[in-house]
Structure 1
């Protein structure tokens, strides 16, 4: 008989507890259970390192992400007036506000007028001409109404932008100065205007409200913009009117007054309460994603929780049997150890919450000066409570099952190391409690999510993945059981270890499989996006887009391109900007669009007219109008968008163009091949819809056999020199900018997802450590029977390599399926498999499993056999 010292130590208290006055029926007392739990914890938390690390890591991730997101949104809300440049902002496209509209603004407070457009900034002349796309921002003398424009060297905005000696002042983004090779005092050209570099921009207070573009900022005065002659009828300029109210509290009545007195103006309206709505929406979406990543890490960590609890209970079998032999009921045993788990979980939660609370402060201190975002870190009780709730429910969901098994540990466990009569599943009450914890976890995830559909998908996918991985592990064990036995002793032992009772197969597949699957998915999405942005360009994409071509010079410019780029294909179409104001009989303000199509209603859209079906479009329903159609306005709508808003042929849409509402009937629906990057629009109108309306044209230049970089740069210089009012956008440069943004986003996502991989590694290490008890037992018996250290190491290395390889193959397959679903089903792009990503997953799995496994086995082989042999 082998009785541990812990059994002897606790026997007196157990006997006393059975007869304690408050023990209740069967000797059960919650207070006494707590006393025993605290007594056992005095010995330290050995064996619970992975438990604590997984909980702390997942909780810290969720708490940190939630706290940082709240710090950012709080900053956006509190500094809304500065970020917006006023209490309210009204934006028009292609036209300025009328005197009557301006009177509405000036009657309520101070007003600042700003114009924004894209244009080519030029420096040098002749062969030395250097031109690049710039985001031009022209301001009046009142700018900025709030905040400070920070310049280097420090100058007042009015002084920096003033005209001196026939040159208007300009302030530049340092990136623009670098691209053009300019320094303070140098000259540059914008359209017909000659400008002088007065300073560089080091801080733009309303950057988020004005928006980021494809080019760096060039800030000038409205007088300089007029001198540039870039503003022509139909030019794609946006006019912003910032209003700082005399009575800020009267914001809502002021907005109602503007809406009532200028109902057809077509204003895009923003207020200090939502200065950067798109940014806030993106922050919320990214926060939700990162929260789900943290929850995934916790789910992976849940496997580690279950392993730690099971290992702890295995080590306490003698103690539990002693309790039972002295009369303690099974529910008393359950209560003691569930209280232990809760107390240990609270320690992990506390560590994670402290780390999550400090994360926004640390990020702000390290990177706050680099980000154009108003971050105001503070303690966020709601985010911390959510993280704590997730952590506690995960701990209970994964711990209740093995804790329930402790209820029925037989007294015979005192007399032997293994007991064949132990149950494989707990009683129904503990199964019910486990299911209740899982349901509570799911309910919390859905309730806390702003997009509950995504949360439900995530929960369904997580459950499916966990079940699938468990079935895969069972399948691997079944296959190993049926394979013919190898002649080699080491290989035969490795194969038997994969499917034997208490095998590590389910734990390794579960813990490592989920993390590797996530990384493979992200790697393949990255590969598919890169291929979409680069590999397909030579065959499908034009080399240039040309904007702001005046209708009077369309043919002349087409002839110019034919001369400069012989063999190139030129396509020119008319282009206007319009804002949807009604869909059928529904004003857009009353429509809640699907999240993926909210952009259709959020701002103005590019529109055109055509007598023929545009290239790259295919009619799916209805018929195109006759070439000389002269009836009521008709419109062709992109089918996917029409379906999203429930529109069909015969319905009407109303668009505000240049302050004039135009209602058109839907004549047909089109499928558009957006990936061609050719000229295409969501809405194409019949030509008679805009007869007499001022507009510009949009052109593309494509080379069937591709064009070299030198050729494209020469064409860009020629256009900038001969047509300074036309904006040339090189597709390669624009896609390179997008590629950088996508790469940075994927890098951030991948870095965040490493939390899940770290949790997987911790769980794997914990699982292998938890299996050390069995490995020591095996090693001692085999060494006693004559096995050498080298042969045992080979056998276990083969076992771990087989498990790692099987897990990696599952992860590659599952990750490929997930990446295919995201790229083809969600992003609507082609899927590209990456062999390096697959090989990386295989290599990582093999390295981790074999390395961790052999480290543990080396320790097991060094144990003295006497203690193990005495318990046989």
Structure 2
């Protein structure tokens, strides 16, 4: 049966009252859809690129995140260095605790702390991360050194020196070589080997300084472990083969029950690197939202492509309707085509996403020593496919609805669909429902739903504002005074005429440029804070592990070494928050933004007076001679994030003892000053008699690097057990981290901008039919090519400036919110970002516009005029 006969049969069936959407009706619509697509995908390449780019970004990011997470989970034993890890701060396990651990399996003990390594002649020194291990280390994995040596040969005492393994970085920093000797505390160490691979490095968290690996005997001989020293004692267990995860959890519960006040942090092989996993999840959420931005921007390209495609099918659609085809049949034919093309784009994006874990495994091998060979992650790919399909339908339904409702006579008369206004309310409702579904999916899959909600609301608001900007530009163009320049008059007319490119161009570039501005402002402000603002108000040095018996002598030394410097000191202990109002914090629902306070041990102190760089915001400070119930002052911002109020109780575990204090007041803390600050400050009577060390800072704004080196040398020689941290070195490390993050963020922003460029190209291509018509008519009336090029250039210049202004305003507000409200730093507008944004907007709009216009101006007049 012919297609015409089939269509006629379908129409008669519909006339008899049977529903159109029967299987034969859908089959016929699919048959027509496939037949029309035999000519290829011309006009849909931008459509395909937009969908593929967004799907690849979302699917690839989440596949990589799952790949790394799976690597952490499957290699939990090697990453953790055992099946279980028990960590104690500032104290070793008691004999009872040690006996309990030893009965569970093979036990390995280690200790970690920061300290200073000095050259033998005392001429130079460097901060190091000391890690002392016993002969059982490592329980899983293998410590790789060059040259390879057994434990005793590597770390044992020989000729008055213990052995040490170090990375190449430390040798370069102190201009040393293997075989040289250095001093750590009161002991001498020989550098015997280079660390090639430390199997449990990830579980130890971020290393601020180079590793200095020694034996436990060597660390004890150094004299660095004293009462109150900031040392972490770690006990790792290798359980019998075949021990299930349930048995591991049972041991954890037993340890908590038998030693409720031990205060140890327990991790298992299933949670080997929680900080790394959490950071990967947060960063993947950010990149997912950026990918979603690219997909939404690409949605504009989908709408443009569908509109242009349907505009080219005016004659076919009109013929369908003239032959009596119901509007629903026409809608079904072209909806099926759009879905098929969308599925092709989604398939391309999924192929790219599937390759992402393999590429990431090779790229991250030097940063994350997790053996990951990639993998197939259907959940991440399915999520990306759903986002792609819903986005396609959301942005395609409006031009499809408009095509459905236009009469055949109007299609034969008009150039396109733009003159008919909005489609019926039912299509608007469907589009709105799909967009809400897209937002709900983004929020549902988000790690931090609050951030995802803010992102979705901001994106929706940005679209509304972009529409308003486009209409505002057109309104101004319509009401602008008549100008003498023919080219400028044509440009202004092109901006507000029916079917103008103004809404498409501004929508295309607006969101992508706004995202780029926001990210550039965040990056620029963060770098400015780290490299300029923070160093101006930060101290020159932090000094840690000053013993109580030495604190007066230490202050005297600093006063002599830096008579013009400002010295601030405070007692410091380490404590872990275990309860709020008597409820275990593990049983509470804590917002993500406040969870960092409960992650691991916190530095805590006591004070008679309000600390510097703090302002009392609520409650009263205790009297200087206070001796009643233990009280605590809590940082106001962190208290709000944790849901605390005045009068609540906080229980912290300090040195194996639970101490409960009542919140007496809240303080506003200036963290950005890098001065001595604490989340919790206790009343002096809380820790009476508890062993602890002191923390001190030295601020001397005019000190030169040579002056700082001299002060550091005097402190290290006189007090070898004191850890000295030069703030400039810490800032350099932070700058390196920000640089690495900025590279990833800029790459992500480039995805959104690439989508914007694709959509811009599609918008210009969609308007080519009208442009050809206008150019031919104007040339027939005597306009020169030079005049037309000038007119089109001015049009694109005006649209580019309007888009740049929006991007600067929207991106500036978004960047300010993140810097000032989320990061709580001083936000500043950066002129170089503004200038580069304007340049990018103008280059893209004028460049792409002229590239398309040049082809338009090359058309011969006669063929076009014959079809008018």
Q: Per the shorter chain, which TM-score range?
A: over 0.9
1:199 paired with 2:193, answer yes
Query: What CA distance in whole angstroms lies between the structure 1 residues aligned with 2:827 and 2:537?
Result: 17
CA offset digits 1:50-87 (Å, max 9, x no partner)? 00000000001111111111111111110011111111
Q: CA deviation at 1:669?
A: 2.1
How is 1:3-402 mapped onto 2 (pairs within 5 angstroms)? 13-14=3-4, 16-20=6-10, 24-25=14-15, 28=20, 29-126=25-122, 129-246=123-240, 248-249=243-244, 250-402=247-399
- State the match for 2:783 in structure 1: 787
CA offset digits 1:281-328 (Å, max 9, x no partner)? 111111111111111100000000000000001111011111112221
Task: Give yes or no for contact 2:543–2:722 (8 Å, CA) kept in 1.
Answer: yes
Q: CA deviation at 1:736?
A: 1.5
Question: Residues 244, 422 of structure 1: CA spacing in aligned structure 2 closer, same or farther, 3 A cutoff?
Answer: same
Query: What CA distance in whole angstroms lies between the structure 1 residues aligned with 2:378 and 2:646?
Result: 51
Question: Residues 370, 645 of structure 1: CA spacing in aligned structure 2 closer, same or farther, 3 A cutoff?
Answer: closer
- State the match for 1:850 in structure 2: 846
- State the match for 1:3 in structure 2: none
State which of 819, 822, 832 in structure 1 corresponds to 2:818: 822
How is 1:332-481 mapped onto 2 (pairs within 5 angstroms)? 332-412=329-409, 415-416=412-413, 418=415, 423-481=420-478
CA offset digits 1:763-807 (Å, max 9, x no partner)? 001111111111100100000000000110000000001101110
Q: CA RMSD in A?
A: 1.8
Q: CA deviation at 1:276?
A: 0.8
Question: Residues 834, 397 of structure 1: CA spacing in aligned structure 2 closer, same or farther, 3 A cutoff?
Answer: same
Query: What CA distance in whole angstroms lies between the structure 1 residues aligned with 2:143 and 2:583?
Result: 42
Task: Give yes or no for contact 1:397–1:437 (8 Å, CA) kept in 2.
Answer: yes
TM-score by length of 1: 0.96
Query: What CA distance in whole angstroms lies between the structure 1 residues aligned with 2:780 and 2:2?
Result: 39
Task: Give yes or no for contact 1:149–1:157 (8 Å, CA) kept in 2.
Answer: no
Query: What CA distance in whole angstroms lies between the structure 1 residues aligned with 2:764 and 2:417?
Result: 23
1:669 paired with 2:669, answer no
- Between the two proteins, the alignment pairs up a number of residues equal to 859
Question: Residues 572, 771 of structure 1: CA spacing in aligned structure 2 closer, same or farther, 3 A cutoff?
Answer: same
Q: CA deviation at 1:664?
A: 2.0
Which sits farther off after the overlay, 393-402 or 361-370? 361-370
Query: What CA distance in whole angstroms lies between the structure 2 residues aligned with 1:761 and 1:17?
Result: 41
State which of 623, 644, 647 in structure 2 corresponds to 1:647: 644
State which of 731, 737, 740 in structure 1 corresponds to 2:736: 740
Query: What CA distance in whole angstroms lies between the structure 1 residues aligned with 2:663 and 2:563?
Result: 39
Task: Give yes or no for contact 2:314–2:416 (8 Å, CA) kept in 1.
Answer: no
Which sits farther off after the overlay, 611-620 or 368-377? 368-377
Query: What CA distance in whole angstroms lies between the structure 2 residues aligned with 1:222 and 1:784?
Result: 92
**The residue matched to 2:365 in structure 1 has which SS?**
helix
**The residue matched to 2:262 in structure 1 has which SS?**
coil
Query: What CA distance in whole angstroms lies between the structure 1 residues aligned with 2:581 and 2:629?
Result: 16
Q: CA deviation at 1:450?
A: 3.4
Q: CA deviation at 1:363?
A: 2.2
- State the match for 1:4 in structure 2: none
1:586 paired with 2:583, answer yes
Which sits farther off after the overlay, 248-257 or 420-429? 420-429
Question: Residues 411, 689 of structure 1: CA spacing in aligned structure 2 closer, same or farther, 3 A cutoff?
Answer: closer
State which of 767, 780, 785 in structure 2 corresponds to 1:771: 767
- State the match for 1:574 in structure 2: 571
Which sits farther off after the overlay, 21-30 or 502-511? 21-30
Task: Give yes or no for contact 1:321–1:409 (8 Å, CA) kept in 2.
Answer: no
Query: What CA distance in whole angstroms lies between the structure 2 residues aligned with 1:462 and 1:538?
Result: 36
Which sits farther off after the overlay, 733-742 or 135-144? 733-742
Query: What CA distance in whole angstroms lies between the structure 2 residues aligned with 1:199 and 1:151?
Result: 6
Question: Residues 601, 804 of structure 1: CA spacing in aligned structure 2 closer, same or farther, 3 A cutoff?
Answer: same
Query: What CA distance in whole angstroms lies between the structure 2 residues aligned with 1:384 and 1:23?
Result: 41
- State the match for 1:612 in structure 2: 609
CA offset digits 1:662-713 (Å, max 9, x no partner)? 222222222222222111211112222222211111110001x432111112
Q: CA deviation at 1:180?
A: 1.3
Q: CA deviation at 1:414?
A: 6.7
Query: What CA distance in whole angstroms lies between the structure 1 residues aligned with 2:356 and 2:584?
Result: 44
Question: Residues 759, 157 of structure 1: CA spacing in aligned structure 2 closer, same or farther, 3 A cutoff?
Answer: farther
Query: What CA distance in whole angstroms lies between the structure 2 residues aligned with 1:296 and 1:400?
Result: 20
Question: Residues 328, 235 of structure 1: CA spacing in aligned structure 2 closer, same or farther, 3 A cutoff?
Answer: same
Question: Residues 421, 235 of structure 1: CA spacing in aligned structure 2 closer, same or farther, 3 A cutoff?
Answer: closer
Query: What CA distance in whole angstroms lies between the structure 2 residues aligned with 1:499 and 1:699?
Result: 67
1:686 paired with 2:680, answer no
Q: CA deviation at 1:416?
A: 3.8
Task: Give yes or no for contact 2:90–2:574 (8 Å, CA) kept in 1.
Answer: yes
CA offset digits 1:34-58 (Å, max 9, x no partner)? 1111111110000001000000000
- State the match for 1:715 in structure 2: 711
Query: What CA distance in whole angstroms lies between the structure 2 residues aligned with 1:419 and 1:53?
Result: 24
- State the match for 1:7 in structure 2: none
Q: CA deviation at 1:419?
A: 7.1
Task: Give yes or no for contact 1:522–1:819 (8 Å, CA) kept in 2.
Answer: yes
Question: Residues 630, 95 of structure 1: CA spacing in aligned structure 2 closer, same or farther, 3 A cutoff?
Answer: same
State which of 538, 543, 552 in structure 2 corresponds to 1:546: 543
**The residue matched to 2:634 in structure 1 has which SS?**
strand
- State the match for 1:811 in structure 2: 807
Task: Give yes or no for contact 2:604–2:681 (8 Å, CA) kept in 1.
Answer: yes
Which sits farther off after the overlay, 564-573 or 26-35? 26-35
Task: Give yes or no for contact 1:469–1:510 (8 Å, CA) kept in 2.
Answer: yes
**The residue matched to 2:734 in structure 1 has which SS?**
helix
Q: CA deviation at 1:15?
A: 5.1
Query: What CA distance in whole angstroms lies between the structure 2 residues aligned with 1:627 and 1:421?
Result: 77
Unpaired runs of at least 5, structure 1: 1-10
1:596 paired with 2:593, answer yes
Q: CA deviation at 1:608?
A: 1.1
Question: Residues 14, 466 of structure 1: CA spacing in aligned structure 2 closer, same or farther, 3 A cutoff?
Answer: farther
Query: What CA distance in whole angstroms lies between the structure 2 residues aligned with 1:424 and 1:438?
Result: 21
Task: Give yes or no for contact 1:85–1:147 (8 Å, CA) kept in 2.
Answer: yes
Question: Residues 390, 23 of structure 1: CA spacing in aligned structure 2 closer, same or farther, 3 A cutoff?
Answer: farther
How is 1:483-494 mapped onto 2 (pairs within 5 angstroms)? 483-494=480-491
Question: Residues 412, 735 of structure 1: CA spacing in aligned structure 2 closer, same or farther, 3 A cutoff?
Answer: same
Question: Residues 156, 125 of structure 1: CA spacing in aligned structure 2 closer, same or farther, 3 A cutoff?
Answer: same
Which sits farther off after the overlay, 862-871 or 533-542? 533-542
Task: Give yes or no for contact 1:538–1:706 (8 Å, CA) kept in 2.
Answer: no
Query: What CA distance in whole angstroms lies between the structure 2 residues aligned with 1:390 and 1:214?
Result: 40
Q: CA deviation at 1:431?
A: 2.7
